[in-house]
Structure 1
Amino acid sequence: MNSPGDDHLGNWPWPTGTFMERLCPRSRRSLLRLGTRTYGPPGTVLMRQGDPGSMVYLLRSRDRSVSACVKITTADGRLLAIRVSGDVIGELGALVPDSLRSNTAIVCTPTIVHRIPGTAFMTFLETHHDGSLVLCRSLADRLAWSDQRRLDFGDHQVRVRLARLLVEFVESYGRRVESGWELTVRLSYEELGNLVGARVDAVGKAMKELGADGSVCLMKRRVIVRDLENLRRAAELTDVFVKDARVT
C-alpha cells in the first residue's frame, strides 16, 4: 500500500479536467492510499486489448515540467487517445469485472503508476460521492471527444482536423516556451494521422502548410505551436470562445 507520505499529492497540481483535478482534496488523498505505487518507464505495457483484468491505473508524472503520457491503442498499434497525469485508465474493467480489455495502454514518458484493484476502486466510488460523479463526467468527456473526431472526419479537410487537434493538445498538454507553446506529448505523423483519420502523407502535407504560415513546427516529434491564434484560424475556431492553454 502507499505510504502516508503520498498524502501531499492530494494538492499536487493535477492538470485541469483530469479525474484527480476534479476530485475534492479529501477524495484525492483517499484514492492515493489505495493500491500500490510503481514506476513505469517508457515502453511499459499496463494492459493489452483482449486480456482479462480489473486493475485501475492512476497516472502521475514524475517530472512536473513534462506530463505523464500513456498511449491508448488498438491491438495492432493504431493510436486512439492519450492519457496524462491525473487520468485513470482501466476503469471499465472495474465496472464490469468479467469483461476483456477494450484497448492497449503503453507508457511513453516516465510515469508513476498507482495500481488500484478494481474492487478497491469500486468501494472508493461507493463511499465518495464526488468520485462517482467525476467518473461519469470523465466517461462523457471521452465519448464527446470521440464523437467530435468523427464529425470532423466527415466535415473538414485534413489541415483543419489536424489544426483542431493541435489546438486541443495545446489547451490540454501545452507548456509555455520562449517560441510559443510546446506539446509535452511526442507524436509521429502516423500517430497524428490515427487521431485525425488521415494517411501519413496527408498529415505531412497539412503539417507543412501549417508550418509555412507560421503556426507550428515539428522537430524530432516535438511540436511547437508558434502562433496559437493563427492555428485557431486554420482550425476554423476563431468564432468560438477559447479557454487559456493549460500547463501540465
Structure 2
Amino acid sequence: MNPPGGGHLGDWPWPTGTFMERLCARSRQDLLQLGVQTYCPPGTVLMRQGEPGTTVYLLRSRDRTLSACVKITAADGKLFAIRVSGDVIGELGALVPDSPRSNTATVCTATIAHRIPGSVFMAFLESHPDGSLVLCRSLADRLAWSDQRRLDFGGCHVHIRLARLLVEFVESCGRRAEAGWEITVRLSYEELGNLVGAGVDAVGLAMREMRESDLVRLNNRHVHVRDLEKLRRFAELEE
C-alpha cells in the first residue's frame, strides 16, 4: 500500500542521517514490512521512562512532504532530543530486554509508527548486516551529538548554541515555507533551553537577537527561519 503523497515508502526522501536513509534499498523494503503500522496523533505516548518494553518504533509521516516528530524526554518532562521520520526509537529495549525504558517518547506531529516486536527487530539485524552497522552508527551519532552539546555549553554563548540547534532542526524536521523554512515541531523556550543548557530568559534574549537580525520569526511556538545560510553564518558554522 502506498501512502498519500505518492511513491513507494522505500523510495521516500528519508532525512539525511536517519536509520532508514542509511539502509540499503532492500533492507529498507524489508524493514517496512515488519510490525504493525499505527496512526499516532499529537500527544500519543509511545513509551514511558521506567516502564518495561521491548517494542521498537520506526517513525514516518503520512505524507512524503511532511515529517514525523517525536519528543524524547525524561520523566520530569525535560526535553533532551527530537526524533523524526526515518528514525527508530526503543531499540535499547530490544538490545537489552530486561532493562526499563530510559526515556519517554511523545508524538508531537501526526506520525505513523511501525511497531516492531523487539525479537523481530533483532532477527532483522541478524539477517541484514547493514542494519547492524547502521544501528551502531546511529547510536554513535547520538553520543556525538550529546558530546557536542556539552562542548557548546562550555565554549559558546547561548545565541550561538540556539542558532546551531535551529539549523539542525531545519535539516531534520523543517519544511519549505513562503519565506524560508518552518520548523514543524512546536517548542517552548523552556524546551529549547533544555536542549542548549540555558534558562528561559537567556533563550528569550537569544531569540530576540535573532528576530532583530531578521533571521527568525515566531508564530504560535513554531519557529520560522527566514534565511538558513545567514543563520548558519550567525551560528559560526560557516566562514
TM-score by length of 1: 0.91
Q: Within 5 Å, give how 1:100-179 maps onto structure 2.
A: 100-179=100-179
| One-letter identity of the residue aligned with 2:96 | V
Match of 1:154, SS state, is helix
**Bigger shift: residues 100-109 or 167-176:** 167-176
Q: Which amino acid aligns with 1:194?
A: N
Q: Secondary structure at the match of 1:105?
A: strand
In 2, distance between residues paired with 1:237 and 1:69?
A: 25
TM-score (norm 2): 0.94
CA–CA distance in structure 1, aligned partners of residues 23 and 31 of structure 2: 10
Q: Residue type matched to 1:127 in 2?
A: S
**Which position in structure 1 is the counterpart of 2:225?**
225
CA distance in 2, matches of 1:227, 1:59: 28
For 1:137 and 1:93, locate their aligned partners in 2 and report how far apart those are by CA, in whole Å.
17
Alignment match, 1:246: none
Residue 18 of structure 1: aligned partner: 18
1:230 CA displacement: 2.5
In structure 1, the residue matched to 2:98 is 98
CA distance in 1, matches of 2:226, 2:8: 36
Tell me the CA shift for residue 172 of structure 1: 2.1
One-letter identity of the residue aligned with 1:81: A
- SS state at 2:114 partner: strand
4+ residue runs of structure 1 moved beyond 4 angstroms? Answer: 4-7
Distance, in Å, in 2 between the alignment partners of 1:220 and 1:119 is 42
- Deviation, structure 1 residue 33: 1.5
Structure 2: gaps (5+ residues): none
How many percent identity over aligned positions? 76
d(CA) in 2 for partners of 1:5, 1:160: 41
Query: Which AA in structure 2 matches 1:155?
Result: G
Where 1:108 maps in the other structure, the secondary structure is strand
Structure 1 residue 5: deviation in Å?
6.2
Task: Render the CA deviation track for 1:126-154: whole Å, top value 9, x for unaligned.
Answer: 00011001101111111111111011111
Match of 1:243 in 2: none
- Counterpart of 2:128, as a letter, is H
Deviation of 1:81 after TM superposition, in Å, equals 0.4
Alignment of 1:30-69 (within 5 A): 30-69=30-69
Q: What letter corresponds to residue 126 of structure 1 in structure 2?
A: E
Unaligned runs of 5+ in 1: 240-248
Greater shift in the superposed pair: 206-215 or 172-181: 172-181
Q: What CA deviation, in whole Å up to 9, does each residue of 1:143-194 have, x standing for no partner?
A: 1111110111111111111011111112222222221111122211111111
Residue aligned with 1:159, SS: helix
Contact 1:67 1:185 in 2 (8 A): no
